[in-house]
Amino acid sequence: MRRPVFIFLLFCLCGITSLKARDIVPFNDKWFFKKDSLSTEVTLPHTWNATDMQIKAKAFYEGSASYRKSCLFPESWKGKRLFLRFEGVGSCAEVYVNGKLAGSHKGGYSAFTCEIQNEIKFGEENEIKVLVDNTARPDVVPVNHNLFGIYGGIYRPVWLIITDSCNIAVTDHASSGVYISQKNVSRQSAEISVKVKLDNNGLYPVPVILENVIYDVTGKQIAAERQSFDLQFQGMQARTSHFKLKRPHLWQGREDPYLYKVTSRLYQNGKVIDEISQPLGLRNYEIIAGKGFFLNGKKYPMYGVARHQDWWETGAALNNEQHDTDLAFIMDIGATTVRFAHYQQSEYLYSRCDSLGLIIWAEIPFVNRVTGKEWENAHNQLRELIRQSFNHPSIYVWGLHNEVYHPHAYTTQLTRSLHDLAKTEDPGRYTVAVNGYGHAEHPVNMQADIQGMNRYFGWYEKKIRDIDAWVEHLETEYPEMKLMLTEYGADANLQHQTEFLGESLNWTKEFYPETFQTKTHEYQWAVIAKHPYIIASYVWNMFDFACPMWERGGVPARNMKGLVTFDRKTLKDSYFWYKANWSKNPVLYLTQRRNDQRETRTTSVTVYSNLGTPKVFLNGKALDNIRKGYTAVHYIIDNVTLANGENKLQAVITDRNGKEYADEIIWHYQGEQRRSTDNRENRNEHSGF
């Protein structure tokens, strides 16, 4: 009596009425999740750490759990090849079909594929079971939860892939099986090669035709090549087609993210038996030490932010709408490049960056610590990242490690080996390794094409303005080094506000004022902007995110360096600082709107405006003596005297088309206020500097 129900469920789940050359269908409903004695039905994506990693430090579940699903595969599918493709499981997984091991995987961020038809009972009910474990272990990177939490569960979608006996390879490290390379790209011409890996699981050679076709954005075919051959049955086979396009339409970042499409088709007996389409964005990336980043021969601004993939009360089990929300913030702020840290992120996200024109840094989770046991896994995760992401034109660099040090000799050798692997897999892209010490002579440095340095002047080290001496020293001593400032910033708890700010903040204290974060970004971006030696910079971070091992700043398990709060509801002042400096959209913004209980009668007012000099009013009276700050969008009025009680500040400006823009905030002054000195040691400088 149950069999018709499962047939109905499978077909509803997969949306299959008749099989095509290749069917890729969702496999996410009706999973039964079990942890300890608790069992519940869930829909993927799913994580068991959606809340416990975010609300209390060092109090999350780290361990094993299972997912089980029953389904029926019809008799008519006999002779087909069936694969389960998992986009992301945190972090180690074993997949069983009817009690037999079908595949395993180590690493919480890359996809993996299991071929399952040999274990399937066609026409009968089958059980798919996945054992998952997010315990930090010394042989799998990351080896701890220190910088971010490894969310447990099948937290990205699962797909059922159905093909004929001969196919474009599905099990080549869960890649597309198609690799598109380009060279000598210019506005005059571009050379393209399309390598397709093919697989025949039969016992005899099969006569086939492989066709590779390039289409423009309208769907018009502009180039094609066919090859006829016998597809052998022992191991994967690779075939390559070569093209040369004249006067190509180039992929020009946010300005013009033009995408061609490459479709690879496999024919047998005149019928298409498999087909894959991949994006093609023709572009040339070049980094010139001391000068900057060049896209298609034109200097390109690298306005960068970093992004972690988790959301408040969702963890890493995001849907596409949430990815789109994050990308909308990133586009709105005017960013041109994103560091997706510190691990491989959603394939959907990378694809959207292709079409949006964002230039992407992709990396593996080799972070924080080494154990001496992660060598093989780090290599495998890098290989998976490159093969699975190879065709995304938005990706310009592969990240090898982030702040990994002792023991120096081992870390150096591992990084050097990862660089060699990346160059073997993909000679056309850069590599980068990141340190937090800020000096080039460190033993683990200089093992990649690009040297990334994370510097938190004024937060973890020294003073805000020490960024000047740091970059000037490197410019003088190492003019040929390709340098990027790969993290910088400061935490900001929106409940913490003050007018009294020094040049440094002791991050081990509990007071993390938003105003200090704003001050840090105002000064340090101005320095970055005037130093082309810093080829790209990445604000840490676009969004607050979970740090389940942390207990600091008044909010447990939280890194608050984001420009946007964890719940995506509040944009901090620093968000508007970068939007005013980077975006072409109009910005007029009065800062310190949450610092509304003023501590001094005489204060300063700061406005960000990319529309020109604004008019500013206090309680209806115009304020004079507005001065420029660190950049062209930065306006400050000093020695502003507040009235007792409520004070209304307004900023107004009219653009060249006659459109008026206005912003308004309310401050309150109740007499001189002095908060506890326990959390603020430096009071020598006012926030309006």
Which residues participate in catalysis according to the annotation?
403
End-to-end Cα spacing for the chain: 77
Q: How far apart are CA 52 and CA 50, in angstroms?
A: 6
Residues 72, 156, 546, 130, Cα dihedral to 10°: 40
Q: Count of CB atoms within 10 A of residue 66's CB?
A: 17
Q: Count of CB atoms within 10 A of residue 600's CB?
A: 17
| Spatial CB neighbours of 114, under 8 Å, sequence gap ≥ 6 | 83, 84, 86, 95, 97, 102, 103
Helix 408-425 and helix 375-389, axial crossing angle in degrees, nearest 10:
30
Give the SS3 label for residue 273. Answer: strand
Look at residues 327, 178, 321, 195 and name the one whose alpha carbon lies nearest to residue 257: 327
Look at residues 607, 598, 600, 594 and name the one whose alpha carbon lies nearest to residue 637: 607
Q: How far apart are CA 194 and CA 185, in angstroms?
A: 15
Q: How far apart are CA 644 and CA 667, in angstroms?
A: 10
Kindly give the residue spans of alpha helices, DSSP state H, lying in 229-346.
320-333
Look at residues 303, 363, 362 and name the one whose alpha carbon lies nearest to residue 330: 303
Tokens for 648, please give them: 């209304």
Q: Using CB atoms within 10 Å of the CB of residue 128, give its burial: 0 to 12 exposed, 13 to 18 middle, 19+ buried.
A: buried
Distance of CA 150 to the CA centre of its chain: 15
* Omega within 30 of 0 (cis) for the link into 342: yes
Q: Taking phi first (over 0 means left), then psi (-120 to 50 degrees means alpha), and beta for anything else, what does residue 243 get?
A: beta
Q: To 5 degrees, how large is the angle CA 32–CA 36–CA 37? A: 70
Q: Are 253 and 303 in contact (CB under 8 A)?
A: no
Give the SS3 label for residue 564. Answer: strand
| Spatial CB neighbours of 427, under 8 Å, sequence gap ≥ 6 | none
